[in-house]
Amino acid sequence: MQILAIETSCDETAVSIVKNGRETIANVIDSQIEKHKIFGGVVPEIASRMHIEKINACVQEALNHASLETIDAIAVTYGPGLVGALLVGVAFAKGLAFATQKPLVGVHHIEGHIAANYLEHHDLKPPFLCLVVSGGHTHLINVKTYTTFEIVGKTKDDAVGEAYDKVARTLGLQYPGGPKIDRLAATGDADSIKFPKAMLNDGYDFSFSGIKSAVLNYVNGEKMKEHEINAANVAASFQKSVVDILTHKTIKYAIANNIKTIVLAGGVAANSSLRSNMRSQATANNINLYYPSLSLCTDNAAMVGSAAYYSYIAGVRSNMSLNATPNLVVGAKPATGFSALHNNI
Ligand code: KG4
Ligand code: ZN
């Protein structure tokens, strides 16, 4: 079965065609990063407007790889994300589903990030433990089946990607700062500055606002003393604290619950230090580790097409009251926008 999937939750207009949840037939991504860079972050109003300008062309381009007649269902991210940005994708998907009389499937953005792994790791099946780390989310999730999720830990304040972007800004690096910190950290000494590791031994929730402020205070303090700041050392020390916390909690939960497979997902899963640290810890504890290739870590619509396939075969159908839901919770059943079938899973 082929699903045409649309993703517009933030600053990428993305459209994909995915076969049976595992094979990417088309993957069109129109990134707005260049437009937002000058403002130091995503400007919601600009994002919505650019999605409107781009979505038609992106759908057309995806359909160059498979004709509309061969599409069995239309999928769309309906939350969480920027409400105006989500609305563009949701409205377009509803219009397309209505006009073609094809089924519509609303997808949770985070469930999409998790499913990105199914596109490349054909042996991967639930259950597994997934660390979802992105610009807006930091979640430790027990993926029980393709469509049942239990959050076992989450951030109490900033998402880890948000902390990366703010620390990058403090160091004068452009948005999105995560990849730039990652590269800069490789040339620095990670033990040169001791930044806090909040809640390291305190359950499975996370907190990243303290470390973000600690970096800011350190940089401002050094500037006041007229010391030269070694940005590579700051980046490496910040990254070490963050990666140590993420790895420690994920591995600890897996061992405590006898989980043999860990999966990484979301934009920060592209981080080289997180990947290598988690790899060595997983190997040492006989745990399998999966993560997507770099281009599937950040936002794309192929991941939405994969998640939609598993929802579809579990009986999920959305209807014409599907709406953009900016604060959608993982695993939540929305009040409107889904047919009664949805309540059976
Ligand atoms: O998943 P994503 O594309 O969008 C959201 O759903 O939020 O994640 C974007 C985030 C940004 O904060 C970006 O700085 C971060 O992922 N990121 C990274 C790396 N690549 C992207 N953070 C650390 N290291 C990277 N290599
Ligand atoms: Zn995302």
Q: Point out the ligand nearest to the CA of residue 184.
A: 1
Task: Give the pLDDT confidence score for residue 330 in this predicted structure.
Answer: 87
| pTM of the shown model | 0.95
| CA 186 to centroid of ligand 2, rounded, Å | 25
In the predicted model, what is the mean pLDDT of residues 273-280? 98
List Cβ neighbours of 219 (8 Å cut-off, separation of 6 or more).
170, 171, 229, 234
Nearest CA residue ID for atom 20, ligand 1:
179
Pocket of ligand 1 (CB under 6 A): 10, 134-136, 161, 164-165, 176-179, 182, 266-268, 270-271, 298-299
pLDDT in tens, 156-211: 999 999 999 999 999 999 989 999 999 999 999 999 999 999 888 899 999 999 99
Of the pLDDT bands very low, low, confident and very high (cuts 50, 70, 90), residue 336 is confident
Nearest CA residue ID for atom 14, ligand 1:
178
In three-state secondary structure terms, 156 is coil
In three-state secondary structure terms, 313 is helix
Ligand 1 atom, smallest distance to 183 CA: 26
Helix axis angle, 177-185 to 231-256, nearest 10°: 100
Q: Which of 136, 140, 186, 189 is nearest to 164 (CA)?
A: 136
| CA 27 to centroid of ligand 2, rounded, Å | 15
Identify any residues that bridge with 68 across adjacent strands, giving them in sequence order: none
Of the pLDDT bands very low, low, confident and very high (cuts 50, 70, 90), residue 141 is very high
